[in-house]
Amino acid sequence: MDSIAELRAGLGGAMDNGDPTMSMADRLCHACVALLDVDGAAISLMLEGSSQGTFGSSDGLSRDLDEFQFTFGEGPCMDALRQGGPVFAEDLADAAETRWPAYVGSALGLGIGALFALPISLANSYVGALDLYRRAPGPLLGNSLLGGLMAADLAALPLLDMISAEAELATSGKDEPAWTQLASLARVEVYQATGMVMAQLGVGPADALARLRAHAFAEGLTASKVAWSIVGRELSLEPDNGRTDPGGRHS
């Protein structure tokens, strides 16, 4: 982009006039890849300090990187919200990068060299983050940094649209809430799987979720993927510490 004005127009135009088969959030993530010096983008939704889901992404790898933050309970998105400002990891392979050991290990395994998280603010509260990644290490500079900050501001618009639609439905007396789309982002399958693990192992919810996350970490999977296997009865976490394959057999 030759100017900030053109960059702003490009990001905004992608949301207004982009591919109609994509959500507004997905279109913004694709625009980030096209206009900024990054290889992927995802919008993480966080409510009350808890990761709720991926609101938009440019590709499956971006979505997996976001899911790993929920799986391990650590990552740049969570730190960006806690700190209320951008969090950058310019070289994940640097031995001095020790902030998120489990998350970084998985990101490096996927060939990611640098990660950047920019918080998203809505009504004076931080509700999520725009996560940008690059395969090669290096800082996010110049127009790419300014464009990322613009995109983080724009990422609040889809949420505002849902709030407006919710208000219209409330006044019209319709029963179908506009927040259905937002609620669908919550990792319902993880909570359902946690309940199944509680019943299987006779443990409390915290221990059950810890077992699910531990299995995900050991297998290099996201917590959601493990949860789908449990809910689909393709995987059972046994009371002992033996590992099971996707068919529920001990390995």
Looking at residues 70-79, what average pLDDT do you find? 90
Give 97-142 pLDDT, tens digit per residue.
999 999 999 999 999 999 999 999 876 778 889 999 999 999 999 9
Q: Are residues 95 and 205 in the same domain?
A: no
Average of pLDDT values for 184-204?
A: 76
Q: What pLDDT does 5 receive?
A: 84
Q: Cα(154)–Cα(114) distance, rounded to whole angstroms?
A: 23
Is pLDDT at 202 greater than 80 in this prediction? yes
Measured CA to CA, the distance from residue 167 to residue 140 in angstroms comes to 38
Number of domains in the chain: 2
Q: Residue 148's closest CA among 135, 132, 128, 126?
A: 132
- 134 occurs within a structural domain: yes
- Give the pLDDT confidence score for residue 61 in this predicted structure: 95
Per residue in 11-69, pLDDT (tens digit) is 888 877 777 788 888 999 999 999 999 999 999 887 665 666 788 899 999 999 988 98
Say which amino acid occupies 126. Answer: Y
pLDDT at 178: 43
Of the candidates 130, 163, 196, which is a domain's last residue?
163
- Cβ atoms 205, 198 nearer than 8 A: yes
Quick: pLDDT tens for 222-238. Answer: 888 888 888 888 898 87
CA distance linking residue 59 with residue 68, whole number of Å? 15
Q: Are 153 and 198 contained in the same domain?
A: no
Residues 81 and 204 in one domain: no
pLDDT band at 192 (very low <50, low <70, confident <90, very high): confident
Mean pLDDT for the chain overall: 81
Does 49 share its domain with 139? yes
Residues 6+ away with beta carbon under 8 Å from 93: 108, 113, 137
Q: Are residues 16 and 137 in the same domain?
A: yes
Specify the pTM: 0.71
Q: Is residue 178 part of a domain?
A: no
Q: Do 219 and 157 lie in a common domain?
A: no
Bigger pLDDT: 66 or 174?
66
The CATH number linked to 108 is 3.30.450.40
Backbone angles phi, psi at 43, to 5 degrees: -110, 115
Cα(144)–Cα(217) distance, integer angstroms: 32
Contacts of 25 (CB under 8 A, 6+ apart): 43, 55, 56, 155, 158
Domain membership of residue 133 (yes or no) is yes
**Structural domain containing residue 247:** 187-251
* Cβ contact 117:80 at 8 Å: yes
